[in-house]
Amino acid sequence: MAGRKPRGRETAWDMILSMAAVIGTVGVIMLLAWRPQQEIVQSIDYPAAVATAKLSQVWPISVPSEIPPGYRATSARFEPESYGEVGDVRWLVGFLTQEDEYISIWQSDGPKGKVIATATNNAVCESTELITNTKTAIASTWQKCESADPLTRAFVQTIGEVTTVVGGTVQWPELLEFAQSLEPVSP
């Protein structure tokens, strides 16, 4: 075989050519197999989730009186609280806005401090806000909490044993409007 170098006599240039061949082959395979990954967020049947929660609830859950246009319910569950006493439960419902921002309602009769810390991503609650319900015209005081990383804005209120957190990544005016629209759904 003319032109072949005996084993053990390869040069750095031979190694560079071999690496280029391997990288080129991998590159071609990646180009052929690559598919754009688009995050698909499934919507849920919100009315069915509320109906199911009504059957299980032990205290009145809160829901928006009307879901704003462009909002999609992406999660809803009425489940045992993951911390606290046996028998503690939580109602959690989340929405995506038209701008793909997140907003949620989290209600729990679990330990207040743990509920607030978890639902607000350990946000700092430094002020209060007087929020007037759009249906009843009754005003109540809520804590106003904010965290920069991850971005979380929230209104928090505890009545009796139940802590309600309305939070998400939306701007304050949209969060306020959502909190104002909440109404209780009795068992």
- At 21-53, the pLDDT tens digits run 999 999 999 888 887 777 777 888 888 888 888
Q: Is the Cβ–Cβ distance between 115 and 104 less than 8 Å?
A: no
Q: Is the Cβ–Cβ distance between 160 and 36 less than 8 Å?
A: no
CA dist 126 and 134 (Å) reads 25
For residue 5, the model assigns a pLDDT of 65
Whether the per-residue pLDDT at 4 is higher than 80: the answer is no
Whether the per-residue pLDDT at 2 is higher than 70: the answer is no
pTM, to two decimals: 0.76
pLDDT tens for each residue of 126-173: 899 888 888 888 889 999 999 988 889 999 999 999 999 999 999 999
pLDDT > 90 fraction of the chain, expressed in percent and rounded: 39
Dump strand ranges (E) for the chain: 61-64, 72-80, 89-96, 102-108, 124-132, 139-148, 151-159, 162-168, 182-185
For residue 93, the model assigns a pLDDT of 93
Window from 12-16, 54-58, 145-149 with minimum mean pLDDT: 54-58
CA dist 66 and 150 (Å) reads 28
Q: Is the Cβ–Cβ distance between 173 and 155 less than 8 Å?
A: no
Classify 164 in phi/psi space as left (phi over 0), alpha (psi -120 to 50) or beta: beta
Asked if the peptide bond before residue 150 counts as cis, ω within 30 degrees of 0, the response is yes
Q: Looking at the DSSP assignment, which residues form a beta bridge with residue 159?
A: 162
pLDDT tens for each residue of 87-133: 788 899 999 999 989 999 999 998 999 989 989 999 998 899 888 88
Cα dist. 179→31, 55, 99, 167, 176 in Å? Answer: 48, 24, 19, 9, 5
Count of all residues that appear for the chain in the document:
187
- What single letter denotes the amino acid at residue 129? E
For residue 34, the model assigns a pLDDT of 80
Domains of the chain listed by start with CATH number: 46-185 (3.30.200.100)
Question: At a CB cut-off of 8 Å and minimum separation 6, what does 41 contact?
Answer: 72, 74, 96
